[in-house]
Structure 1
């Protein structure tokens, strides 16, 4: 699998997943020195060849061949929380099919301190190079798992004592009004339709993020970031 752009490539180099670097001829010497210091084999190519290879000119002169992303298991997410000695904070995605949104949510979840992201098999973007690039290396550190049926999985979480809050613009309670000092899963719906009815009904609470502008809703990845941040900052340290 190919990823591109300097930040994603250097993050992949740090986590040891790069097998080969493809670098445009003529990039600045400082970048060349940093890439050569990694010890990963470099193949020099014309910039237009990289354009054609990744389908964009926005690669910044560097492309990396990395191992294919693999799905984790749902239990890996809870194991991650246990290993860190923390109450679970899980992000569930209900119909987020845009790969850039998916990657951005993974990145925010890892950076802000959630323990994993879980999606439904048939209602999610795949783990693609676009997801990997947008996640900027976060997939190497955060479990990202699939389940066959999200409503059924929510029932399983609740049986384990995990509360479930679903993001819904019309909810009566806002993010600042809920209790986050408990094992928790946050559910983010698709941008077009939001949460499905059955998923919504499974939630213990629905939560709204107050908006003051003329646009009525937030991008799914932004909403996820705000709710994760609210949850983490509301917990005792």
Structure 2
């Protein structure tokens, strides 16, 4: 009796495989399947107008706190707004809309971990090498093209106190939601310098004492 009860839907032993077995049994009996795996939602079209879409709690919080980031629009769930400490969407200096998670899924695709918030914003403008400032620690990337890797590198660079990340205009990923999410907010905390010729840039860094 106890084993029979423990296999009822909703109990601890009601595993994923048990659901699949019930679905197969119901289909063979001519009824509707009891369980259907969730179908993935593909990403929607890009934002256009040269904007980027950033998502995730840490990413968006850092963007909100960055005065250089020009945000145009926000989609946010009620839960995410509370976690971001946004009591009044109408008080934000850009358009903000309260939505359901599935509404953001239609834009990012269901594989993106958006955590209930998405913004459309202008990408951060890269700086010139002569605008390096007083930092004594920089990071130079040569043909690192995977946005996940670049995001993780940005996160580590900020943790180690690097003042800038230098990369070439070509063979580098564009700013994107994937890169920003991998950086977990670090994108907003480090200057990005774009150069045409990496060898020349390394020579200038050497002359500057690096």
Same structural fold, with TM-score higher than 0.5 when normalized by the shorter chain:
yes
Q: Note the C-alpha offset of 1:98.
A: 0.6
Question: Residue 181 of structure 2 aligns with which residue?
Answer: 133
TM alignment of 1:11-160, pairs within 5 A: 11-16=62-67, 17=69, 18-24=71-77, 27=79, 30-31=82-83, 34-37=85-88, 39-40=91-92, 41-56=95-110, 57-77=112-132, 79-81=133-135, 88-160=136-208
Pair 1:121–1:29, CA change in 2 (3 A)? closer
Going from structure 1 to structure 2, the CA distance change for 1:119 and 1:37 (only over 3 Å counts) comes to same
In the alignment, what sits opposite 2:209?
Answer: 161
Aligned pair in 2 of structure 1 residues 29, 13: CA closer, same or farther (>3 Å)? Answer: closer
- Return the match for 1:5 from 47, 52, 56: 56
Across the two proteins, how many residue pairs are aligned to each other?
153
- Cα offset, 1:138, TM superposition: 2.5
Alpha carbons 1:76, 1:143 under 8 Å: kept: no
- Provide the alpha-carbon RMSD of the alignment: 2.3
SS of residue in 2 equivalent to 1:43: strand
* 135 and 108 in structure 1: CA distance in 2 versus 1, 3 angstrom threshold: same
Higher strand share: 1
1:113-143: CA deviation from partner (whole Å, max 9, x where unpaired):
1121101222211222222222233233311
Could you state the TM-score of these two structures normalised by the residue count of structure 2?
A: 0.64
- Unpaired segments ≥5 residues, structure 2: 1-51
How many Å apart are 1:71 and its aligned residue?
Answer: 1.0
For residues 65 and 80 of structure 1, do their structure 2 counterparts lie closer, same or farther at Cα, with a shift above 3 Å needed?
farther
- State whether residues 169 and 196 of structure 2, in contact with CA within 8 Å, keep that contact through their aligned partners in structure 1: yes
Question: Contact between 1:36 and 1:42, CA under 8 Å: does it hold in 2?
Answer: no
| CA spacing shift, 1:27–1:152, aligned 2, 3 Å | same
- Note the alpha carbon deviations across 1:189-208, whole angstroms, 9 max, x for none: xxxxxxxxxxxxxxxxxxxx
Q: After TM superposition, what 4+ stretches of structure 1 lie above 4 angstroms from structure 2?
A: none
State the distance in 1 between where 2:131 and 2:183 align.
19
Per-residue deviation, 1:43: 0.6
Q: Which sections of structure 1, spanning at least 5 residues, go unmatched? A: 82-87, 163-237
What is aligned with 2:3? none
Q: Please, what TM-score do these two structures have when normalized by structure 1?
A: 0.57
